[in-house]
Chains A and B, each alone.
Chain A
């Protein structure tokens, strides 16, 4: 094989990996949309908040340090301890962060969703944008807005083994596939996460209740499923997914404000895959990942580069014109 074909191949592989990262965020959207019909714009900020909390807990940061310093004139930043890790993985901090996300889910249901039952979808959507603004400011106030390094014990950098094994395939001009170790791990975690979610929703009582609510709110209510507890559970699961996404993206880019913008990366994935389908989120993510990397690789340099910002949206838009409900979305049937 010639080096060029192999390089294209590398681009596709990297696109697939990037797609998995997008799918991780999209997954959280789908879970909430299925269970409550809420288009949760705050999912990206939830990932940011989860990652911030994880780093803050791990490093023993004082919450609201800047604010307290400004009000009381003190100078606090750290408690001075770090949570223990097991083999470099901050297990305790992750567990605590999960609890924080569960508490967050409970608070959202209590303070926001409960009062907005039966409102129009756009009102709920706006409420989640408000929530996103709130969390963005709140997260920064609580943990500070500087860029933080997130180390969860995952290997960083290119995979040397793969690079050496494939070097020379395409003659001297080809240096072997370059694939980030982190991406490989992310793919693994995403696979585990999806399999767990599918098993959970198929084989547990709660999972069945979740599917019932997704199918028909009123019917679910009438057979005795508590909508409110289901919502808490769904938001908790979405919070957990956000934590995983936050860890992966945070380890890759550092924990910072721009992390919340990954939500914008996940939206075209959702459009493509359909708002209501978990497999759709995965397949959509892969298509978008490969599509935008290939486009940037082949056509990007001709028209000025940085096409990744919009290509996904245009691709999804063109696709939707032919299939308005996305790849795997439920068929939209309208009656007068």
Chain B
């Protein structure tokens, strides 16, 4: 019934090599896009946008970024929170230094700044491997957060040490600041998510993505067949940090609006991002979305059930959230170590044969 390639004849190489070669898959993809762009903006309200949709979109970008580094290039990173902070503070500095600049370019530029910082912290990866590297990326996490906390230049000497996103418009619509409408925020993030996911998908299909995967599978062997580990690893760090930086900039400008660095970009954020890609599936763009959706929805769902449903005090609900999140992660790893993406793949295989399983 579904996902059949039978009868779907390709007459050109371009058609054969497209991202979604199966017609059903392609139409599903267009349908999702149409709903996301044309239906959702007219039906969302403030709560759904700020509690679910916007965090989900932003975390998707971050998860894709981390997936490029960890899932495609095999370099485990625990510095995501730090790089998000770089994106946020870069956005803040650019916004205050150049008030005329379009917010769209502010976010992109912040990603660029983060890419440079990521490049710097990626340098040790040429010497250090495995868990030693994972711990080494924690250096980025702690150092960057400390830097933004202690050096007044980064927060323009504000007395509280916080940074606040000033109001910025795009095409007449307010995007940032407390008065922006949820629809504008949502669409702004959605455009970024669409562009970044498209970029990531095509990067990982191409020469660069293949060199990353070769490095992931075995770096010495990759080196022997002519992949330059310097180029591959550093480009992975740069591209990944670009994504994470864009995510961090959106996180600050669109989602939170006001940020205190230790709280908003602490080590917990690094772990959350890692959870997303593990639960979603390493080395999969779809997995990044699935993982982000799962991790964003879970606390919202549990808070509604426990505080709203059972009427428990919030502190017990918070503790339970930890217990359930921890337990779910373990259960997931045991049941499906390759994440939701692998689960989805199995479903697709099943759907292809349904209703005749032989």
Q: Taking beta carbons and an 8 Å cutoff, which residues of A are in contact with B?
A: 39, 66-67, 70-71, 111-112, 115-116, 119-123, 125-127, 129-138, 140-141, 145, 264, 267-268, 270-271, 275, 303-307, 309-310, 313-314, 316-317, 320-321, 324-326, 332, 334-336
Contact = CB atoms under 8 A, between A and B. Distances in A.
A121 B326 contact: no
A325 B131 CA distance: 10
A304 B218 contact: no
Given A137-B319, A314-B139, A70 B312 contact: yes
A126 B150 contact: no
A115 B333 CA distance: 9
B325 interface: yes
B322 A137 contact: yes
A44 to B, nearest CB: 12
A274 to B, nearest CB: 9
Contacts of B224: 336
A314 B150 contact: no
A264 B327 CA distance: 22
B146 interface: yes
Interface stretch (B4-12, B172-180, B270-278): B270-278
Given A112-B330, A134-B323, A137-B326, A313 B128 contact: no
A135 B218 CA distance: 35
Contacts of B129: 324, 332
Contacts of B333: 116, 119, 123, 126-127, 130
Contact of A126 (B139, B274, B322): B274
Contacts of A121: 130-131
Contact of A324 (B128, B135, B330): B128
B203 interface: no
B322 A313 contact: no
A126 B278 contact: yes
Contact of B315 (A71, A138, A145): A145
Contacts of A268: 135, 138-139
B214 to A, nearest CB: 12
B125 to A, nearest CB: 10
A141 B129 CA distance: 38
A66 B316 CA distance: 8
Given A138-B323, A264-B138, A336 B220 contact: yes
16 contacts: A122-B278, A129-B271, A131-B326, A133-B329, A134-B323, A134-B325, A134-B327, A134-B330, A136-B322, A137-B324, A138-B319, A141-B320, A264-B138, A268-B138, A313-B142, A324-B128
Nearest to B334: A115
B155 to A, nearest CB: 13
Contact of B142 (A112, A271, A310): A310
B146 A334 contact: no
Dominant SS among interface residues on chain A: helix
Contact of B136 (A39, A70, A271): A271
A307 to B, nearest CB: 7
B171 interface: no
Contacts of B324: 137
B219 to A, nearest CB: 8
Contacts of A136: 322, 326
A332 B219 CA distance: 14
A127 B330 contact: yes
Contacts of A335: 220
A125 B260 CA distance: 29
Given A119-B333, A137-B318, A275-B132, 18 more contacts: A39-B131, A127-B330, A127-B333, A127-B334, A129-B271, A135-B326, A137-B326, A140-B322, A141-B319, A267-B138, A268-B135, A306-B150, A309-B145, A313-B138, A317-B124, A321-B124, A324-B129, A335-B220
B299 interface: no
Interface string B113-144: 00000000000100111111011101100110
